[in-house]
């Protein structure tokens, strides 16, 4: 989608520090990390602006995003303690309207929902 920062990152038009990439999914390190491990996992195509737009037609890539999260958590040695977050809408703190999942780990996460 035009003027979407994550579409541009997925297309390689903007730089990112990649953690994983395949035909459907890109994972890259968040520019303002909220935890020692903070990776954004996105569908490469702009199939939804946020989780409210997940449907039977586009949910396969959502499953793929979670597979990638599990794989990365294992590779990074945090499989025993990580969190996957998606913010939907400005009221929930969403700032980039391209479906994405935050993979957070490496600090004590059990006391907060953030």
Nearer to ligand 5GP, 44 or 94 (CB): 94
Residue of 1, 5, 60, 79 interacting with ligand 5GP (CB under 6 A): 5
CA-based torsion, 52, 18, 20, 67: positive or negative = negative
Nearer to ligand 5GP, 16 or 56 (CB): 16
94 interacts with, out of ligand 5GP, Zn ion, none, CB within 5 to 8 A per kind: ligand 5GP
Widest pairwise Cα distance in the chain: 39
114 contributes a contact to ligand 5GP by CB under 6 A: no
How many whole angstroms separate alpha carbon 99 and alpha carbon 54? 9
Q: Which residue has the tokens 């499989």?
A: 79
44 contributes a contact to Zn ion by CB under 5 A: no
Nearer to Zn ion, 22 or 75 (CB): 22
Mark whether 98 is an active-site residue. Answer: no
Residues 6+ apart with CB under 8 A from 7: 1, 46, 98
Residue 75 sits at φ, ψ, to 5 deg, of: -65, -35
Contact region for ligand 5GP (CB under 6 A) — 60-68, 76-84, 91-99, 103-111? 91-99
């Amino acid at each position: 989608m035009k003027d979407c920062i994550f579409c541009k990152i997925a297309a390689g038009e903007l730089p990112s520090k990649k953690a994983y990439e395949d035909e459907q999914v890109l994972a890259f390190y968040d520019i303002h990390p909220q935890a020692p491990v903070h990776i954004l996992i996105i569908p490469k195509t702009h199939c939804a602006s946020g989780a409210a737009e997940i449907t039977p037609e586009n949910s396969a890539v959502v499953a793929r995003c979670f597979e990638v999260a599990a794989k990365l958590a294992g590779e990074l040695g945090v499989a025993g303690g990580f969190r996957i977050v998606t913010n939907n809408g400005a009221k929930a703190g969403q700032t980039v309207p391209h479906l994405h999942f935050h993979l957070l780990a490496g600090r004590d996460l059990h006391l907060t929902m953030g």
